[in-house]
Amino acid sequence: MFSIIQAAGWPIWPLVACSILALALIIERFISLKTAKVAPPRLLEEALAVSRSSVPAPDVVKQLEQNSALGEVLASGFRALNSDPRCTEVDLRGAMESTGRAVAHRLERYLSALATIASAAPLLGLLGTVIGMIEIFGSQGASGSTGANPAQLAHGISVALYNTAFGLIVAIPSLIFWRYFRGRVDEYLLTLELAAERFVRHLNQLRR
């Protein structure tokens, strides 16, 4: 592997950095976007059950808030009702929507960076290709009438091809994972929105 990097020349080092960064972002997103950390399947039903007759105690609300992203949104509704038992449905929705926007921002974190890597990696590979071609033509021009220098010619070709290939190797998985995580986040946001809508109706009945 190191011999390939040496053969590709210095233009490959930005691509190596991009590959390491992309791998770190993919691992981090896999950990952060687990269902248990975002929207546990039975959490909404449990929150509805525990507040069937009254708003739960603050320690229960705090535990719910720390449970997951969905728990954070639901807990904001409880907190709004605790702070003002006579608050309107608009106030409840506003409190939960505000928390939902913060949660959405957190779920989308690093996705733009991954998309940037997917877009930039082919361009960096193209840059290495151009540099390799420059080395090829430079070796031909420098050798004058004696013909091209085979060693410099081979080095220029290797720089061009290795950088092109490595740029695609970095870009294709980054694009695939970006699309995967984008779809997963959109699915989670829909789940949170539907759960919040149902929970607002429940809290609206609870405060009457």
Q: What is the pLDDT of residue 5?
A: 65
At 154-173, the pLDDT tens digits run 667 777 788 888 899 999 99
pLDDT surpasses 80 at 144: no
Mean pLDDT over residues 181-204, rounded? 94
Cβ(43)–Cβ(71) below 8 Å: yes
Q: Which of 97, 65, 69, 67 is nearest to 78 (CA)?
A: 65
Number of separate domains in the chain: 1
Helices 89-107 and 150-206: crossing angle in degrees, nearest 10, is 160
Query: Model confidence at 195, in pLDDT bands (50, 70, 90)?
Result: very high
pTM, whole model, 2 decimals? 0.83
Domain span holding position 81: 2-206
pLDDT surpasses 60 at 71: yes
